[in-house]
Amino acid sequence: MTEQLSVQKCEACQVGAPQVSDEELPVLLAQIPDWIPEVRDGVMMLEREYKFKNYKLSWAFANKVSALAEEEFHHPAILLEWGKVKITWWTHAIKGLHRNDFICAAKTDKLL
């Protein structure tokens, strides 16, 4: 069993890096069951919406995710609303999902 995604580090990802394979996809998705794979304009992404009691709590969580992104140098889309934060991870350089996206999704869950 490979170690938990949330303790792994993102690797530098360049254009041409491999997307997650069809065989790996279900194995990785099973490790982050609260995340939904979405395909937009042919690009597969991982998405999760978190609910909070008010805007300040949503804002604080969004800030933590931003700090994580800088630490990993891998950046999500963050939709910040009153009582909700939607996080979407994908790898722009390869227009799809890299192992990094799963690592970052798992790390995002640990920020709660």
Q: Which residues bind ligand H2B (CB under 6 A)?
A: 13, 73-75, 91-93
User: Is the distance from CB of 56 to CB of 106 less than 8 angstroms?
Assistant: no
Compute the residue count for the chain.
112
Nearest residue (CB) to ligand H2B, 46 versus 52:
46
Q: Looking at beta carbons only, is 57 or 80 nearer to ligand H2B?
A: 80
Q: Measured from the CB of residue 45, what is the shortest distance to ligand H2B in angstroms? A: 9
**Residue where the block lists tokens 């949503």:** 58
* Cβ proximity to ligand H2B, 92 vs 110, nearer residue: 92
In 3D space, the residue among 85, 105, 89, 104 whose CA is nearest the CA of residue 34 turns out to be 105
